[in-house]
A and B are shown apart, each in its own frame.
Chain A
Amino acid sequence: MKLLLRGGRLVDPASGHDGAADVLLDGGVVAEVGPGLEAAGAKRVDCGGLVVCPGFVDLHVHLREPGREDAETIETGSRAAALGGYTAVCPMPNTDPVADNAGVVEMVAARGREVGLVDVFPVGAVTLGQRGVELAELGAMARSAAAVDCFSDDGHPIREARLLRLALEYARAFDAVVADHAEDTSLTDGAQMHEGEVSAMLGLAGWPAAAEEMVVARDLLLAELTGGRLHLCHLSTANAVELVRAAKARGVRVTAEAAPHHFTLTDETVRGYDPVFKVNPPLREKADVEAVRQGLADGAIDAIATDHAPHAREDKEVEWPAAPPGMLGLETALGLAVAELVGPGYLELPAAIERLTAGPARCRRLPGHGGPVTPGAPANLTVLDPAARWTVDRATLASRARNTPFHGRELTGRVVHTLLRGAFTVRDGKAQR
């Protein structure tokens, strides 16, 4: 099937292209790229006023299947991802059962293929059951049909330095990345929100920034020691960003991600005690939000990753301490990136798109995703309207869950079409399945 995306602005960070160009797709791959293309027999898609770019990649999502299908399934999560402009997502292993073996990761990848709305690249657990005691069979997962090249105990930090060291070293055999959730649990025991002026007034136990920074520092030193590949999940504090910046300058092999809620919201939102604002790491102070934005701007942070964390409605309609942490993110990431980063001038649009595409693709192996948009490449593309203003309505989200902290917020930038290997998964803003 031939598709001609005509009249758009092609932004392809991987190749550096930013300008008017048409893209011809044939048989699921990019056939030709250039201005003023003509193609007989091709269905024309008018992209005037729109941006054409690689499909987005989300390094960090929770699809909840297997185990909590009441909150989200691979199908509903895939649909939400496609609507958000994503063609690839990486679900974390904190499912039930935990994805700590070839069987579960293969099942998750296969289900993703079956649903066929995004490519699903599972993240395998580092330790058995994510218990932090013994390594899981990283090799089996790497060599499985799921071809896992990223391991994480996300949800939990890897508490023992010894274990993280071993994981970083062992993973080198598979050229795999270890992604750590940086948190010193002895400092965050019972913590409910960021430790600061707001937590002191609200009577909620605090999660000090130092608890994240200490572990970030430790992880960077271990990465340096082992020569292994380290990825840092959901950076949220100013010092954490600075530590990563300095480590990269020293040549440490580290990549980092940040979530949209950490470059948009502060702990002030917690004042009403609505658990929709409860997340781990917690929402921090203005200076931290500013630092995350700067980190994305200067590349200290490589990727925007949503940490999409759906929760069943009744789980979040409780008193704050009883609620699980986590927020939705797939369908609002683009809108927040444009409204909060591009709009105020932290990044230009191509750089913001880079943090959603080529940047994440640098962090792990995701064949066919992140660009470049060149002949022969799989046609995983997103067409978006960078100026569209829209208001988030939680009732109309494709996710099974409703826990978005952005309900009622006006965003800028909306996905028009998403294509997975040349086929529309989203067309004119509507999911095709």
Chain B
Amino acid sequence: MLRAASNPTGLEAFLMSGRTVVMDAADVHRALVRIAHEVVERNKGTDGLVVVGIHTRGVPLAGRLAAKLTEIEGRPVPAGAVDVAMYRDDIGMRPPHATHDTHLPFDLAGTVVVLVDDVLYTGRTVRAALDALTDFGRPRAIQLAVLVDRGHRELPLRADYVGKNLPTAADQAVRVQLQETDGSDAVAIESAPRKAVASR
């Protein structure tokens, strides 16, 4: 149990609440680099490739992946973002999700889209993202890259590129923090809520 600082911030707070870190900043970085090389290998380069992140944390990951691909091949790989709030399959079952911008500054026709998200779980978010993308155009192919695959698929979907396979129990939560959204990079598993957590 970690001792609390008087005003825990970012990573400290993150780590305080009974979570187990499974990937630190260095792990996240290495995973992304490896995925970038896998993408290049599988697609034999980055010709016609675009990277699209799923809101929210998929977007900065997509940005980093696109930058890495650009660096590896020496030619620019564009990045975009897709918001799936309007395409979810649980509309009317839970309070309406917050919306974000879908930004696809390229023509999808004939491209290979590398769809990026932080965690792959039931697969429903990816299904929604596929529907959203299809409304914008017809890519030649869509491949899926995720930082973490935690299992428990409810739809017949799989990722092409996985940062880390992380078997989890259904009552556990996977928490991803990223520099761009949360101040630092980390992936942690949080077990079912316990009574006593860190003292203030």
Determine direct contact between A and B, CB below 8 Å: no
